[in-house]
Chains A and B, each alone.
Chain A
Amino acid sequence: MGKEMTVNDHTLAPPFPPPAATTNNTAPAATTKSIITFILVTTSIWLSESILSLIDTSTVGLSATSINELAALGPATMMIDSLLYLSAFLYTSTTNLLASEKAACVVTIADDEPPPTDCKPETSKVVSDAIGVALLIGAFITATVNLFGSNLLLFFFSGNCGEFAKILPSAMKYCRIRSLVAPLSVVGIVAQAALLANGNKITVSFR
C-alpha cells in the first residue's frame, strides 16, 4: 500500500464504507459559527442535568411520606453521581482520541499523502473499545454500590450516627436502583463524547 496506488484502484478494496461512515470520519469544521453552536449545545446538555436533579428533588420534597426520604436524597445522589463523575475520564479520553484520529485524516488528505490505517472506518474502534471499557467500569460501579454502598454513604453524610441510621435504608434503595443501570449510564457518557467529537450535536442533546 502506498502512493503508487491510484484513486480508482478498486481491485484490493475492502468492503466500501457506507456514506454515513465516510462523513463520520471527518473532523467537525472549526468555524466561529460551529464553535458557538457547539458551546450552546454542550452548555445546554450540562445545564439540563442540573434541571433534572432539581425535578427529582422537588417531586420527592413535595410527596415524601417522611422527612428521612428527603434527607436521604442528598447523600444518595451525591454518592451515585460522584461515582459516575469519576467515570467521566472516559468522556475526555474518547473525545481526544477520536479528535486526534480525525485530525490525522485531515492532514493526510489535505496534503495528498496516503492516509494512516486509522483513517479507515475502523476509526470507530476507538468508540467501540471505549464502550466496552465503559460497560466494565459501569459493572464495577454496580458491584461497588451493592457491596460497599452503606460504608461509602458515610463519606457523603455530615450528620450524626443516629441520623445516618434513619436515612440509610432509603438512601441505599435509591443507590441500588440507580446502580443497576450504571453500565448503560457510563456507555451513554462515552456515546455522548463520541457524537460531539463527530460534530453530531442533535442526538447528544437527548441525554
Chain B
Amino acid sequence: MIVGQQHHVQSTSDTKPITLPNPSRSTFLVSQPVLAVATSALLNLVLDLVLVCVFKQGLAGAAIATALANLGSTAVLAHRIRKDNSSTEKLSTIPNAKRLVELITFAGPIFGVMVGKLVSFSMLSLFASNYGLLNLASHNILLKILFFFTTFGDSLSQVSQTYLPGVIASNSKSNNLSLAGFLKISLLLSASFGAFCGCSSLFATKLGRLFTPSKAISSIMATCSKPMLLSLILHPPVMLLEGLLISQRHLTFLLGSYVVSFATILLLLTNSSGLPSIWYSLVGFQCVRLAQFLFKSSPLLKRGFNGRNN
C-alpha cells in the first residue's frame, strides 16, 4: 500500500467503501441551498437599491452591485476550497506542461461544443429578426421561457458528469447505485422533467399576456407553443445523454455531433418561413442531437441494463 493513504485504508478496513458521504455535509442539503440562494439574491437587491435607487448611479450602479455580488460569492467558494485543501497548497497554480496538455485535451473539445450551442441558438434569433419587430419580440420572450425550463434538463448533464465515473468504478461493496440503478433513476428523472417542462411551457406560451400587454405578441407566441413543447420534452434526455458522453470522454464524437447538428439547424432555418417554422427547426436540432447521442451511448445503456458496471 502506498504510504500516505493510511487514513483511506483504515477507514475502509471494515469493507465499507470510501464513498460514504461526510454526514456533516449532508445535514442541511435541502434547506441551506434555498436559504443561500435567497441570501445572495437579497445581497444583490440591497446593493441595487442603494446604488441605483438611492445614489442614482443608474447602469453603473447595477454593474457595481453585480460585480460585488460576484466577488462575494467567489470569496465564499474560494474560502471553502482553501479550507478543504491541505494548508500547504496554493489556491491557484499555473499548470505544468503535462497537466496543461491534459486540461487542453479535455477542455478544447468542450469549448467547441459550447461555441456550437451558442452559435446554433444565435442562428434562431438571427433568422427570427427577418420577420419584423413583433415576431422578434415574441421570439425573445419565447427564448426566455425556453432557457428557464432548460435549466432542469441541464442539471441532468451535471449529474451524469459528477456521478457516472464513481458509479462505474464502484463494486458490490459500495453504497453507490449500480449502473442499471443510476441509469434507471436518470431516465425516469429526464422523462419527468421533459413532461413537466413541456406542459408548463404550453401554459406559458398560451398565456402570453403574463409577459406582455400586446395581444399581437401573445397570439404569435401561441402559434409556437407546439414546437416549444416538443423542444422541451426532448431537452432533458438530450442533456442526460450528453452528460454520459462527456463523462466517458467521447469528446471528439461530441464535437463532430455539434457540427452535424449545426448544419441541420442551418439547413432547416434557411428553408423556414415564419416564426413557428423557426421553432420547428429547433425541434429538428434536438432530434438530431438525441439520435446521435443515443447511438453513441447505446453500448453503455446496454451494459447497464445487462447488469454490468464495467
User: A residues near B, CB below 8 A?
Assistant: 1-3, 5-32, 34-48, 50-52, 55-56, 59-60, 62-65, 69, 72-73, 76, 82, 85-86, 88-90, 92-93, 95-97, 99-100, 102-107, 109-111, 114-115, 117, 119-121, 124-125, 127-136, 158, 170-171, 173-175, 177-178, 180-181, 184-185, 187-188, 191-192, 194-207
Say whether B111 contacts A86, CB under 8 Å.
yes
* Contact residues in A for B174 (Cβ distance below 8 Å): 106, 110
Kindly provide the distance from the CB of B201 to the nearest chain A CB, expressed in whole angstroms: 15
Say whether B9 contacts A185, CB under 8 Å.
no
Q: Is B32 an interface residue (CB 8 A)?
A: yes
* Contact residues in A for B8 (Cβ distance below 8 Å): 22, 25, 105, 109, 115, 119
Given contact pairs A30-B166, A109-B17, A173 touches B77 in the complex (Cβ within 8 A): no
Determine the distance from Cα of A103 to Cα of B30 in the docked complex, in whole angstroms: 25
* Contact residues in A for B56 (Cβ distance below 8 Å): 63, 65
* Contact residues in A for B40 (Cβ distance below 8 Å): 48, 52, 206-207
Determine the distance from Cα of A29 to Cα of B18 in the docked complex, in whole angstroms: 9
Determine the distance from Cα of A171 to Cα of B77 in the docked complex, in whole angstroms: 29
> Which residue of A is nearest B84, CB measured?
A24
Say whether A195 contacts B17, CB under 8 Å.
no
Say whether A89 contacts B107, CB under 8 Å.
yes
> Which residue of B is nearest A98, CB measured?
B162
Determine the distance from Cα of A203 to Cα of B28 in the docked complex, in whole angstroms: 11
Given contact pairs A14-B4, A43-B151, A48 touches B37 in the complex (Cβ within 8 A): yes
> Which residue of A is nearest B193, CB measured?
A39
* Contact residues in B for A34 (Cβ distance below 8 Å): 21
The stretch of B94-102, B221-229, B270-278, B300-308 that contacts the partner chain: B94-102
Say whether A21 contacts B85, CB under 8 Å.
yes
- Apart from A25-B8, A181-B71, A205-B37, what 20 extra A-B contacts exist at CB < 8 Å? A8-B6, A9-B1, A15-B86, A27-B165, A30-B163, A36-B189, A42-B159, A46-B154, A52-B66, A63-B58, A95-B158, A106-B19, A110-B170, A110-B171, A128-B91, A173-B63, A185-B70, A188-B70, A197-B162, A201-B33
Contact of A18 among B1, B87, B106, B158 (CB under 8 A): B87
Given contact pairs A16-B4, A48-B37, A72-B59, A195 touches B168 in the complex (Cβ within 8 A): no
Contact of B151 among A47, A124, A134, A184 (CB under 8 A): A47
User: B residues near A, CB below 8 A?
Assistant: 1-13, 17-22, 25, 28-30, 32-34, 36-37, 39-41, 44-45, 48-49, 52-53, 56, 58-60, 62-67, 69-74, 76-78, 80-81, 83-95, 99-100, 102-103, 106-107, 110-111, 113-115, 118, 129, 136, 147-148, 151-152, 154-156, 158-159, 161-171, 173-177, 181-182, 185-186, 189, 246-247, 249
* Contact residues in B for A174 (Cβ distance below 8 Å): 59-60, 62-63
Kindly provide the distance from the CB of B122 to the nearest chain A CB, expressed in whole angstroms: 9
Q: Is the interface of A mostly helix, strand, loop or mixed?
A: helix
* Contact residues in B for A129 (Cβ distance below 8 Å): 93-95, 99-100, 103
Say whether A60 contacts B89, CB under 8 Å.
no
* Contact residues in A for B168 (Cβ distance below 8 Å): 103
Say whether A31 contacts B176, CB under 8 Å.
yes
Say whether B77 contacts A88, CB under 8 Å.
no
Contact of B189 among A39, A97, A130 (CB under 8 A): A39
Determine the distance from Cα of A65 to Cα of B62 in the docked complex, in whole angstroms: 13
Given contact pairs A27-B19, A86-B115, A129-B99, A73 touches B59 in the complex (Cβ within 8 A): yes
